[in-house]
Chain A
Amino acid sequence: MSAFVQYTLQGLAAGGFYALAALGLAVIFGVLGVVNFSHGACYMLGAVAAAVLLDVVGMHFWVALVVVPILLFVVGVLMERLLVRWLLRLDPLYNFLLTFGLSLILVDVVKRRYGVSGLPYERPAGLDGQLHIGALGLSTYQVFACLFSFLICGLVWLLLTRTRVGMIVRASTEDAERTRALGINVGRWVTPVFGFGIALAGLAGVMAAPFRAITADMGSNFVIILFAVVVIGGLGSILGAVVAGFLVGLVEAYGQAYAPAFAQVVIFVLMAGVVLFRPAGLFGREETA
């Protein structure tokens, strides 16, 4: 029983990273129509940036949690302004290929600079121990990661449902052309939304830093699972991204615990099952046009 609780916590913690990153992927896809393949690389950049900043300037985890997403926001803005923007008028496939190429470049640049072995990152003081609840011993960091991703997902949810910007993002996600025809300059929101989405991937990366091996390749596997998450949740569905993120984290953790050989397969079996019965994903809307 206590092992099961631990797997669940581990799953929710990992799911939190997926949920945050998938949320970023969903708002970018919604407003720009771009499937950002470099999302995994940006997650990796977040973790690497946290490790490097700790090593070079001694930046504490709590500070990195704020600073790194801001840096990644800037990276996202530059990516959008310098590259992605110019392909928006073309078939979305072009931006998919562009971001795919970008992620290869980012991964290799990091490999060249920091090598292929993992960068060290110690769990921050106060989060490195165990929480004892009765007979149960839980990793303090996992409990924190869980609660923190719930909190951020909740804040993003409030931003999307309670503010005018959020209303415009939801409307554009549903139908960008119609939203323009109702007098809203959707183009104005493209750059900040892209930056915001990348910042969320970076935030997931910082949170993963004390928890996962920090290597240049850490995003490559992550992005594949991330695509399973958005397919399960429904591409462009914001609620779907969050729910499917946690769901996939749980499935992966249980898989690793009870059927280690099939841990990854289970996720894609889940994805195939969802696509079979609900082609638009759990929370996606069927195309009507």
Chain B
Amino acid sequence: MLENRVLEIDGLSAWYGEARVLTDVSLSVHEGEVVTLVGRNGAGKTTLLRSVMGLHRQIEGTVRFAGTELGRRSPDARARAGLGWVPDDRGIYASLTVSENLLLPPVVHPDGWSLEQVYQAFPVLADRRSSMGTQLSGGEQQMLAIARVLRMGSRLLLLDEPSEGLAPVIVQRIGAIIREIKAAGVAVLLVEQNVKFAATVADRHYLLAQGRVVESLDNDSFQARESELLTYLGM
């Protein structure tokens, strides 16, 4: 298991000017594994994803993806190497149609889904393929954002709070999609505040507080301590 680490973060620290937001974070994600990063608002979860994506540059430490150190590589090179970013605001283009949103990024791996596969898995997107991106509901936008990186054939999805602001039935649907992604052998690093949701999809969890990893748990112990964690997160 150790040799097929898709993502390996070692001693990552990040700053915004003088303010340190991540301190010596180390974590890993294995092939076909779903790992969550749980923590309160401001714990540094989004900064961590942005650092992996190369969007936040004021960092120290190493990020290795599929065995290669990413160093100072540009965000577009990282995306073409197989990192699929789904930002917390979904990142849907208002001036592009649904199908253009899907077709914009390059296909980076032969396992990338075809447009037909996407529409089969997400019939709601097929129905609205000519609508402008932001005419979709929040849940539809989330599905579109995930479908977009699946079409690229990304090997690791970085999902930033996909359940946020969605109705429970849509959250369930997103959970099912994540399990399907995992079954297809794609790894997922999931940022979440929703502990219950995280427990339904993930293999392992990292707890992030004030920019540090304070605990690493498998899903069983995570579920056993759910109420404690809920209090800890202030929810």
Contact = CB atoms under 8 A, between A and B. Distances in A.
Interface of A: 167-168, 170-171, 173-175, 177-186, 285, 288-289
A180 B93 contact: no
Given A167-B100, A167-B103, A171-B104, A180 B74 contact: yes
Interface string B28-64: 0000000000000000000000000111000000000
A178 B93 CA distance: 10
8 closest A-B pairs by beta carbon, nearest first, are A183-B79, A182-B105, A180-B75, A181-B75, A180-B76, A183-B80, A181-B85, A185-B76
Interface in B98-130: 100, 103-106, 108
Interface string B139-150: 000000000110
B79 A167 contact: no
A59 to B, nearest CB: 39
A289 B91 CA distance: 12
Contact-residue size bin, chain B (C-beta under 8 Å from the other chain): 20 to 34
B95 A181 contact: no
A288 B80 CA distance: 28
Nearest to A170: B95
B75 A168 contact: no
30 contacts: A167-B96, A167-B100, A168-B104, A170-B95, A171-B95, A171-B104, A173-B95, A174-B95, A175-B93, A177-B75, A178-B91, A180-B55, A180-B74, A180-B76, A181-B55, A181-B78, A181-B85, A181-B87, A182-B76, A182-B79, A182-B91, A182-B104, A182-B105, A182-B149, A182-B152, A183-B80, A183-B105, A183-B106, A184-B104, A186-B76
B183 interface: no
A91 B80 CA distance: 28
B97 to A, nearest CB: 10
B64 to A, nearest CB: 19
A181 B76 contact: yes
B108 A170 contact: no
B85 A182 contact: yes
A183 B85 CA distance: 10
A174 B87 CA distance: 15
B93 A170 contact: yes
A47 B107 CA distance: 45
Contacts of B100: 167
Nearest to A237: B95
Given A181-B78, A183-B76, 15 more contacts: A167-B104, A170-B96, A171-B93, A179-B104, A180-B74, A180-B76, A181-B54, A181-B87, A182-B104, A182-B152, A183-B108, A184-B76, A184-B106, A185-B76, A288-B89
B147 to A, nearest CB: 13
Contacts of A171: 93, 95-96, 104
Contacts of B74: 180, 185
Contacts of A186: 76
Q: Which of A174, A182, A184, A289 has the most C-beta atoms of chain B within 10 angstroms of its own C-beta?
A: A182
